[in-house]
Chain A
Amino acid sequence: EAQVTQNPRYLITVTGKKLTVTCSQNMNHEYMSWYRQDPGLGLRQIYYSMNVEVTDKGDVPEGYKVSRKEKRNFPLILESPSPNQTSLYFCASNRGTGNEQFFGPGTRLTVL
């Protein structure tokens, strides 16, 4: 089944404790993106990647890092999480710009 998977689905952590949210897709898509969703603000793009080793900032990249060492994986790294990064995070992938994006199930992160 074609899908985007994210882990963990839920995470509660404390300020400053490094964490990684993994994202993997099995559709051989070139493009992958990370979004965060907050009430009243909609979905906002954090980072995106157009292919292996090619990443760039989205609208709200501060406090996040990403890497794209393999085509299928696009982990989101929070080196020093802060409470304002408490949010619902979605990973997405697509074949090319303009094509439909496939979203993962989301990761609900709480930073205390």
Chain B
Amino acid sequence: DAKTTQPNSMESNEEEPVHLPCNHSTISGTDYIHWYRQLPSQGPEYVIHGLTSNVNNRMASLAIAEDRKSSTLILHRATLRDAAVYYCILRDLSNAGNMLTFGGGTRLMVKP
């Protein structure tokens, strides 16, 4: 799976939107963009994924650049519970090993 680059940390105020960027310039045509997050002392938790079009679900939105070399996870109103490490991961469906390759992620801090 291709590599992703994310900022080490970001800070946000509670109730404000948060835009978490991810660069993946070597993405291939069959790579899906997945986002997971890991809250303190918990296992990773799926957030959202997409291929080409922007995606929305109850947790977040995913905005994918037209050339697919970058994407942005959008939390519309950050809460204290959203403080976590967010991981951007590329998954090729030919990855028979079912493996998620977690990089360093972005540690999001939410201030009250």
Contacts and interface: CB of A to CB of B under 8 A. Distances in A.
Do chains A and B interact in one complex? yes
Interface of A: 4, 31, 33, 35, 42-43, 45, 48, 50, 56, 58-59, 90, 92, 94, 97-98, 100-106
Interface of B: 32, 34, 36, 41-46, 49, 91, 93, 95-105
Contacts, number: 58
A97 B93 contact: yes
Q: Which 5 A-B pairs have the closest CB atoms?
A: A103-B43, A100-B46, A43-B102, A42-B102, A45-B99
A105 B43 contact: yes
A97 B98 contact: yes
B58 to A, nearest CB: 13
From DSSP, what is the main secondary structure of chain A's interface residues? strand
18 contacts: A42-B104, A43-B100, A45-B97, A45-B100, A50-B96, A58-B99, A90-B44, A92-B44, A94-B98, A98-B32, A100-B34, A100-B46, A101-B46, A101-B98, A104-B43, A105-B42, A105-B43, A106-B43
A28 B35 CA distance: 23
Contact of A103 (B44, B96, B99, B105): B44
Contacts of A59: 99
Contacts of A90: 43-44
